[in-house]
Amino acid sequence: MLARHGSAPSTPGQKLFVGADGTCVGTVGGGAVEREVLESLESMLASDAAHHATREFQLGQALGMCCGGRVEVFLEPILAVAPCLIVGGGHVATALAPLLVRVGFSVTIVDEREEWGREGRLEGVRCLVGEHDDPECDLTPEAAPRTAVLVMTHDHGLDQRVIEWALSRGAGFVGGVGSRAKAKRTRDRLSSKGFTDDDVARIRMPLGIDVGARLPDEIAVSIAAEMVAWRRHHTPHAPRAR
């Protein structure tokens, strides 16, 4: 609640949170004005293109309230933290994971090599020594559609298996580091194994937006940019040429 003009049940500074499941916390005054605010927030949640907005509500005849004043309310969509599983903890993953944490992802790195999967190696990043299909990494049906799986292991055959696993688990975003030639081979193998055209088409490889990146830190920036675009439902530019 930003401001109150005249008589109104609302007080500047009051807040109301509405979750995607309809859970409400807080209040902006109750009654008809709160109903209008709730309807505005629900419309915002339903729209992928929704941005913050300031709305003014007249509390007289329009809302059937005797107060007669008006209130100004700031409406803002808040993105939930998105899960991201990075399979392969090498140089690109080491640069990328902390960056993804800072832009709103909950990141887990899994690597079968002790030096790259050791817990505590990266601040704010969960690191595991193991395989992509270990129970600790598995994708539940509820979480899978909003989970990103990024594949950047030390072994091309393992990359292929992880991508197939991620698709079969219904991951919302599946991407891999690699050249255009590797990307074509990956897609050809998926098609030969019976994956649908839609599944094959949604693989993001080469992973990352084309910014001319070459060094691990630069590649991390290009991948993080693509991940932000996916999380905010924007269409990124073409992947990087390799």
Same domain, 28 and 51: yes
Q: How confident is the model at residue 242 (pLDDT cuts 50, 70, 90)?
A: very low
Same domain, 63 and 106: no
Q: Which residues pair with 56 in a beta bridge?
A: 72
Same domain, 122 and 30: no
Flag whether pLDDT at 50 surpasses 70.
Answer: no
Measure CA 220 to chain center.
Answer: 16
Last-in-domain residue among 44, 75, 106: 75
Q: Which residues contact 45 (CB under 8 A, 6 or more apart)?
A: 18, 20, 77
pLDDT given at position 239: 53
Full residue range of the structural domain in which residue 17 is found: 3-75
Q: Across the chain, what does the average pLDDT equal?
A: 86
Same domain, 122 and 66: no
Between 29 and 38, residue with greater pLDDT = 38
* pTM for the full predicted model: 0.75
Q: Which residues contact 29 (CB under 8 A, 6 or more apart)?
A: 1, 8, 9, 10, 11, 14, 71
Same domain, 152 and 34: no
Same domain, 120 and 32: no
Last-in-domain residue among 18, 40, 75: 75
Between 240 and 42, residue with greater pLDDT = 42
Last-in-domain residue among 22, 41, 75: 75
Summarised one tens digit per residue, pLDDT across range 62-101 is: 555 555 677 888 888 777 789 999 999 999 999 999 999 9
Number of domains in the chain: 2
Same domain, 94 and 208: yes
